[in-house]
Homo-oligomer: A and B are copies of this chain.
Amino acid sequence: MNFSYELDELIDLLVPRKVIGHTSFSISYIESLTKTKQRGISFLGNPKYKKDVATSQASVILLPMGLDLTPKENQCFLLFDNPSLALGKLCRDIEGKNCHHPDVGTHPEAIIDATVSIGQNVSIGPHVIIESNATIADNVIIMAGCYIGHGVKIGNNSVLYPSVKVMDFCEIGSRVTLFSGVVIGSDGFGYETMDGTHEKIPQIGNVVIEDDVDVGTNTTIDRARFSHTKVGKGTKIDNLVQIGHNVIIGNGCLIAAQTGIAGSTTIGNHVVIGGQVGIAGHINIPDEVMIAGKSSVANYKPKMGKILRGNPTMPINDANLFYVLRSRIPNLFDRVLKLEESLRELLSK
């Protein structure tokens, strides 16, 4: 996205607590501390990169208060309580100036059933299909090629990127974002095996996505066998995640990419799950548990504590210790062999 800000504009926009080395120039790109050069702006978001501030060639650097550093000539430091938030504000401003909001109204190449209810100020792109009895609330944006099944409900201010599919009877809350390729409400993976033949178990429930949820690209959330698969308010889900049927996810969770949660598992509130985690079916993960990336959770017991890691998971300290000792195991075999030899020698005397 293209942009240009004079330093004065920037100060007006971001309102820093302190300005050091105020000179007059404009900035036109954002980069990390080590990559930014003239006319670029950078920031210190993580204290571990503090040493990079001294060598950064950035024209403007956003820094936390209390850092004892002096800008170079032709450099300006803007100090904030939280420089990441200040950068976010700048980015939001740039985004606002560059973002192409789809036109309000229904594109003539969309196919909307006559029974669909559409609110005020809705944008429906080309090649969108909306089936019978769906309800689309105010200010919703449905981009090109989305498929909205029968009886689906979409709450106000939600955004569906191109080629999202929401299958029959699923319910999407307000201010929900579904990224491209997301599929909400395919059948859950349920079969009854009789004499080696897998008979499909009908999946007659739906998916309920509560308010303020984001669902990442190509993620799949299956409809319930009966009742609901549910994602709670404010939960954010990354790309290529699989949520099985009848999974219940609480509020304010973060679920990183390529994680899978098997059927009928319940996840509490504010649970944080790293990437590529696998969680077995029919288990309960309580509130505020954190699960390290690539872990596999076969069950949960309170004595495991709140931070888990490993395959299958252990309490984080046990896992970290195991991973350190793992490389010393060959040596342990040697030590035991030596002990056996010493003892044998001793006994043979």
Pair A270/B183 contact, Cβ less than 8 Å: no
Select which of B29, B31, B94, B252 is within 8 A of A202 by beta carbon.
B94
From residue 171 to 210 of chain A, which have CB atoms closer than 8 A to chain B? 179-181, 183, 186-187, 189, 191-192, 196-206
Pair A167/B180 contact, Cβ less than 8 Å: yes
Copies in the complex: 3
| Residues of A participating in the B interface, judged by any CB pair closer than 8 Å | 1, 29-32, 35, 84-85, 87-88, 91-92, 94-95, 98-100, 109, 111, 125-127, 129, 131-132, 143-145, 147, 149-150, 161-163, 165, 167-169, 179-181, 183, 186-187, 189, 191-192, 196-206, 214, 216-218, 220, 222, 225-227, 234, 236, 238-240, 242, 244, 252, 254, 256-258, 260, 262, 270, 275-276, 278, 280, 293-294, 296, 311-312, 314, 318, 321-323, 325-330, 332-333, 335-336, 339-340, 342-343, 346-347
Can you list 14 A-B pairs, Cβ within 8 angstroms, ordered by A? A88-B192, A100-B150, A126-B129, A163-B165, A165-B180, A179-B186, A242-B258, A244-B257, A256-B262, A257-B262, A258-B258, A322-B326, A325-B330, A342-B343
Given the complex, which residues of B lie within 8 Å of A147, measured CB to CB?
143-145, 162-163, 180
State the Cβ distance, A180 to closest chain B Cβ, in Å: 5
Known A-B contacts: A161-B186, A189-B239. Give 13 more (CB < 8 A). Answer: A30-B205, A88-B192, A88-B201, A100-B131, A100-B150, A100-B168, A126-B127, A196-B252, A240-B242, A276-B278, A294-B296, A312-B323, A322-B326
